[in-house]
Amino acid sequence: MLACMANNGPNYSPSKEESSSSGMSLNKDIESTYLLDRDDDEGMHFKSHCEECKAAQESPDYEKVSPRKMSKWSFEVQLKGEGTYECSATGLVFEVSEQALVRYSVLSWFQFSECLKDSWRPVGSIYDVVVVDKDPSVLKFIHFPHSLCLAEPEHEQSFSVLHVKERHADIESTVDFTASHVKWPVSSLCTVGVIIPISQHVEHQPAPNHGLVMVYKELGHKRYFVFLSLNTPSEIKAIEEQVLISRKNGIKISETFKHLTCRLEEKFYCLESEPEGQIEPPNLEFTTAVLALKGLFVARFGNLPPFKLFLKDTDCDQPFLNVTITEVGLMIYAENADEPMTFQPQLCLDIDSENSIEYNRE
């Protein structure tokens, strides 16, 4: 059993090392609050668009259920009887032995970083789960979506679950995993999230992560903020909280476009532009380590759009993500797509990617 103290966001001030290790930061505080007021359950859970993973991620035996939103990051779902159900908002799968009302909230991993120390890394979101007015034993298994790309057979994996109860945490075993989910037998209900040991990265070839590129624009300025993130609700929540604090600190940021799925490895990436703009930092390390502040690129331009952004692995000259920003609309090109998908937000996004990057609100 691990003793841990949850880090309460509003009272935490990150060290200088934490702030600098992940690149540029928008603020010096972390706060727990909601960023968006819009009713957008579907925008939280993004399945991988790797062709190798698509078929394995389909779950025809699971009954899809739409939860009732309690708040931006909290839900409840009424499960009508014995069976296996998948939440359309989070991708969580519940196996129950009888009718049950389940409530669950997406949390940020940073609150529990002391429980992980330097031995574990999150590979999915962390949730608080309860069964309302019934014994928790009616919930037999929870299948947690994970963020690893397991398309390559040489990637050996061993998943565990961090189970936090009051001020103590247990590392518990899981019973199975697929290309998309990790199956955990419910011992009791409280705070739970999927993790893997750091030693796994050393002993075996680490699997790449299903990631997101999230782009924001500062209102009134030709400045853009580009985050590299795990494709999990907990990571999205942490970034949205960081952006909200920036708003409160006087940086007026709007959501331009985000949720561009891709595969990311724990290595350094660089962002380049055309025409040439001022981009800081020159290189940014993508890491799954739990940090107080998320690293990001800041791109500044002296002219009006269009701009082109190129995201590259520092070991390769070929960009794996090309983004064209204009003032027209939103057009997205995925690899091998015959026609672009077209949207009409504030700006236009044109994507060309070797990893079938798509804008999708499934």
Q: What is the DSSP string of 168-197?
A: EEEEEE-SEE-SSEEEEE-SS-SEEEEEEE
- CATH level 3 topology of 208-352: Immunoglobulin-like (2.60.40)
- Give CATH 2.60.220 domain extents, the chain: 2-8+36-203
Q: What is the pLDDT of residue 325?
A: 77
For CA atoms 126, 209, 253, 90, give the dihedral sign.
negative
Q: For the residues of 118-171, what is the DSSP string, one character each?
A: TTEEEEEEEEEEEETTS-GGGEEEEEEEB-B---STT-----EEEEEETTEEEE
pLDDT of 222 reads 79
Predicted pLDDT at 141: 97
- Give the chain's residues under pLDDT 50: 8-43, 48, 329-362
Q: Is 11 helix (H, G, I), strand (E, B) or coil?
A: helix
Name beta bridge partners: 351: 323
What pairs with residue 322 in β-bridges?
Answer: 310, 352
Contact between residue 15 and residue 148 where contact means Cβ atoms under 8 Å apart: no
Return phi, psi of residue 6, to 5°: -70, 135
2-8+36-203: what fold? Chondroitinase Ac; Chain A, domain 3 (2.60.220)
Sequence-distant (6+) residues with CB within 8 A of 181 are 59, 91, 93, 143, 144, 145, 146
Numbered ranges of CATH 2.60.40 in the chain: 208-352
What pLDDT shows up at residue 271? 94
β-strands 83-87, 63-65: how paired?
parallel
Task: For 217-280, give the DSSP string.
Answer: EETTSSEEEEEEEESSHHHHHHHHHHHHHHHHTT--EEEEEEEEEEEE-SSEEEEEEES--EEE
Question: What is the Cα–Cα distance from 263 to 267, expressed in whole angstroms?
Answer: 12
pLDDT for the residue 109:
93
Give the CA-trace dihedral at 37, 41, 44, 48, to 10 degrees: -150
Cβ pair 196, 157 in contact under 8 A: yes
Rounded Cα–Cα distance for residues 282 and 101 (Å): 49
What pTM was computed for the model?
A: 0.78
Rounded CA-CA distance 18/164 in Å is 24
Nearest alpha carbon to residue 215 among 263, 258, 153: 258
Please work out, in degrees rounded to the nearest 5, the angle formed at the alpha carbon of residue 22 by the alpha carbons of 20 and 25.
70
User: What is the C-alpha to C-alpha distance for residues 54 and 149, in angstroms, rounded to an integer?
Assistant: 11
Dmax (CA) for the chain in angstroms is: 61
**Quick one: pLDDT at residue 201?**
54
Q: For residue 36, what pLDDT is reported?
A: 27
- Cα angle, residue 355 at apex, residues 350 and 358 outer, rounded to 5°: 45
* Whether 290 contacts 125, CB under 8 Å: no
- Distance in angstroms (rounded) separating the CA atoms of residues 341 and 41: 21
Q: What is the CA radius of gyration of the chain?
A: 20
